[in-house]
Chain A
Amino acid sequence: MIDALRGFLVVEQWAVLAYFLAVNGFLVVVLVASGLEMRSHLLESWYESRLRLLSSAAAPTITLLAPAYNEALTVSESLRSLLTLRYPKLEVVVINDGSTDETLAVLRRDFDLVAVHPIFRRSVDSQPIRHIYRSTTSAGLVVVDKVNGGKADALNAGVNVASGELVCAIDADTIIQSDALLRMVRPFLNRDDVVAAGGTIRVVNGSRVSGGRVVEARAPRGALPALQAVEYLRAFLTGRLGWNRLGGNLIISGAFGLFRRDAMLAAGGYEHDTVGEDMELVARLRRRAYEQGGPGRVEFIPDPVAWTEVPDSLRVLGRQRDRWHRGLADVMWRHRRVLGRPKYGSLGMVAYPYFLFVELLAPVIEALGLVGLAAGLALGAVNWSFAALFFAVAYGLGIVISVFTIALEEWSHRAYGGLRDRLRLTAWSLAEGAGYRQLTTVWRLRGLMRYARRNKEWGVMTRTGFVAGDPVGGSAPSAPQRP
């Protein structure tokens, strides 16, 4: 019996090792693709004038959709920051999603709102709209007051009312770079078949924020935010950028993403019944393009376009990762029919299998590997050399990829302060495999188990908030983003 168990453990360990080799090998390919993509991007944007686009009458209109729920304390400041974004044709639609506090009253007072009754088509389902207001002091500001229905529902109401050819979904607590829209619109101008675009989102913890803008970008000082900053860099700069060359992205961050409105309406808008509505929409847009023809390309630009505050407590971070993984599981399940079907091109043959076997199932396999390794060592089925090889392949290659990602950041945008900040992030990336990564595995496993029990809660996240002039990092409530 013991011998049979030992034999099983040996086979299992080799299988897990082979899995990690394949995954890390693929990630190296993604890293190389990212490097090539970054080189093209830097050439394309070399001395490119964004001022020209800023003064162009031919630029497409962008509608910013900002859902707000009980944000009376911060909504006016956030909105002022949005209204000063640099873009020639900008409409801002704030959707008051049935707030029970003074959100609407504050908006009416600060922006001199008057009720209007514009004719719009209810193209996608949403809870009833009670009133629509326009500001007499800020041209281009529209406030939609509706019955509460959640974030996806609020965004759908906003899409119905929007007049822009492009719509940009943002979270109220995302800090957007002033020229972000000028950068984000580029993929839509470059190609006719782009339906969605996203950009790099950075971690704001540790940076100095004033007037709704990051005035001094620094790498986070605390361990947890710093480790997440490394994760974000890897997810955006290596992950999503590389996917531009490997068959297109499947995720556009809910914190800041730009979509073609007609494609979004044709696809039916945001799905209400999921916790991963941003990823679900992107998957549906791509799938629909393969099924019905028409545009379906999802592009990622490496430019830093927005900043978000990440959790600085393990409890909140755990809830966030749990939710993200439930969202991922839900999207994978909803679109399971695309797996391995040539009809769906790179979506079915590359992107979906990657997200299923690498992103979704990785924690299961990693946990099996770790438990099997411990059992194998205890029973003498595997030796210490094997354990060393396992860790070298599973975690060592991850560190190498993180270091090269930070090198890519150094070569390109250098968004986080000076070299010292990037070296600090590098030091944290070396420590990522010593506890942090295992914790994320546990949280993601918990997310999978909760998904299996059909749990669709969002959970509550605690944030520090942005106090003008102070580095971000301390506690006030708000909502989390997927990198």
Chain B
Amino acid sequence: MVSTQLVLIALAIEAVALAVGLALLAGHGGWLAVRERRLAPRLAAARAAILTGLVERPSQQLPLAPLEALPFDERLRVLGEAAASVAGAQRSHLRGLARRAGVLDRAGALCRSRRWKRRLRGARMHTLLGGGEAVMPALLSDRRAEVRVEAAAWAAEHPEPEIVARLLELLGDPAARCRFTVHDSLMRLGPAAVAPLVDFLASVGGARAAAGLQVAASLRDPRLLDAAHRLLSDEDAETRRRAVDLLGALGGERALAALTDRLSDPVADVRAAAARALGQGQHWTAAAQLTAALRDRSWDVRSAAGMALRGLGAPGELLLERMLADEDRFAVEMARLMLDLPGAPA
């Protein structure tokens, strides 16, 4: 049977663990409450000083003393709260205060750390408050994806060509979050990203080109037209699809022949994208090819072709009505669906 000693040992272990848990819980909670109460007046004073300075005295330097009265973490908290709501001159003003308060220096030092968690903190402080031109570009090539992501976010406010070029290289980053942030930053950079993007698309193919084309489709700049045409014949189906999307977004007569040609692409996604793009550009001269696409073996292609025809108005609807007598039952079904849409002729 069980000895009393074994029971006592088990209970003692549990009692110690329980005491540690309770001490952690109460200790942390109590410490936070005391700290919050002690810092509350100083936090309020710092917030008020920044707000007053930014709104009422924009030409003067923001006062440093209220911020210096706070521990470093709280300085960052107050600056971060303000930074989330300001832009332009007010943001520069706030950045000046952060520099004088030593926050940007600390961020710069953290960015140079050998420990990635510190580099991440430093990078995030620079994204939040600005600055960091001397240290952040190097972090775009950091070995840790988390740090590269933050550097890419920072780059959205830095349209220098070499930074944009580095961002474009990161479109093929192995980390999903990095690719997303780069994509987002390039879209935020807008026109500043177009020229480097044209150069980039001229030199790459495959998946990297597809990522570039995705950005290009949201920038919709005519300078990207040549790249779209060139990549329409890429070996990678995703790249061809993105090139079709870009052509659809850019429109123009030159796109017509290329898009019509893509209606016979071996990959259904590309054919569907081409049908959509032709509909988007209202290319009525492609109506015959779109009608033929109603017989496509892919539902996506048939529905995109049907929608495109319907978007052409009366001529498209006439063609859809004719398709009701077609011998391909899938084409007939899709034509019927399109003609049944609200607003279509009875």
Contact = CB atoms under 8 A, between A and B. Distances in A.
Nearest to A395: B14
Given A389-B10, A399-B18, A407 B2 contact: no
Given A58-B180, A392-B10, A419-B29, A47 B340 contact: no
Given A49-B84, A400-B17, A400-B21, A383 B1 contact: yes
A48 interface: yes
A187 to B, nearest CB: 10
B28 A403 contact: no
A389 B14 contact: no
A364 B12 CA distance: 29
A404 B21 contact: yes
A457 B24 CA distance: 44
B80 interface: yes
A190 B176 contact: yes
B307 A119 contact: yes
A281 B29 CA distance: 39
B76 interface: yes
A418 B26 CA distance: 11
Interface string B9-32: 011001001100110111011101
B303 interface: yes
B29 A47 contact: no
Given A115-B342, A426-B25, 18 more contacts: A56-B187, A121-B299, A189-B180, A191-B176, A388-B7, A389-B7, A392-B10, A392-B14, A393-B10, A400-B14, A400-B17, A403-B18, A403-B22, A404-B21, A407-B28, A410-B28, A418-B33, A423-B29
A407 B21 CA distance: 7
Interface string A110-136: 000001110101000000000000000
B65 to A, nearest CB: 24
Closest 6 CB pairs of A and B: A419-B29, A403-B21, A407-B25, A396-B14, A58-B184, A386-B2
Interface of B: 1-4, 6-7, 10-11, 14, 17-18, 21-22, 24-26, 28-30, 32-33, 76, 80, 84, 117, 120-121, 124-125, 127-128, 146, 153, 175-177, 180, 183-184, 187, 218, 299, 303, 306-307, 337-338, 340-342
Interface in A411-453: 411, 418-419, 422-423, 426
Contacts of A52: 153, 184
Interface in A39-53: 43-44, 46-49, 51-52
B80 A392 contact: no
Interface of A: 43-44, 46-49, 51-52, 56-58, 115-117, 119, 121, 189-192, 382-383, 385-386, 388-389, 392-393, 396-397, 399-400, 403-404, 406-407, 410-411, 418-419, 422-423, 426
A48 B125 CA distance: 10
B303 A117 contact: no
Contacts of B175: 190
Contacts of B4: 385
A191 B24 CA distance: 34
A137 to B, nearest CB: 18
27 contacts: A47-B80, A47-B124, A49-B127, A57-B187, A115-B342, A117-B341, A119-B306, A119-B307, A190-B176, A191-B177, A192-B176, A382-B1, A383-B2, A385-B2, A389-B6, A392-B7, A396-B11, A396-B14, A400-B21, A403-B25, A404-B21, A406-B21, A407-B24, A411-B28, A422-B29, A423-B26, A426-B22
A49 B84 CA distance: 8
Contacts, number: 115
B242 to A, nearest CB: 14
Which one of B7, B32, B125 has the greatest number of beta carbons of chain A within 10 Å? B7
B21 A419 contact: no
Given A49-B128, A407-B24, A389 B2 contact: yes
Contacts of A403: 18, 21-22, 25
Contacts of A423: 25-26, 29
Nearest to B303: A119
A402 B82 CA distance: 38
A190 B180 CA distance: 9
A367 B303 CA distance: 59
Contacts of B3: 385
Q: Choose among A48, A407, A418 the residue with the greatest number of B CB atoms under 10 Å from its CB.
A: A407
A239 B26 CA distance: 23
A422 B10 CA distance: 27
Contacts of B342: 115-117
Given A385-B1, A389-B10, A410 B29 contact: yes
A383 B2 CA distance: 8
B7 A385 contact: yes
Contacts of A189: 176-177, 180
B25 A422 contact: yes
B297 to A, nearest CB: 14
A397 B177 contact: no
Contacts of A47: 76, 80, 124-125, 128
Contacts of B340: 117
Contacts of A386: 1-2
Contacts of B22: 403, 426
B317 to A, nearest CB: 15
A401 B84 CA distance: 38
B18 A46 contact: no
Contacts of A190: 175-177
B132 to A, nearest CB: 14
A385 B3 CA distance: 7
B25 A410 contact: yes
A49 B156 CA distance: 14
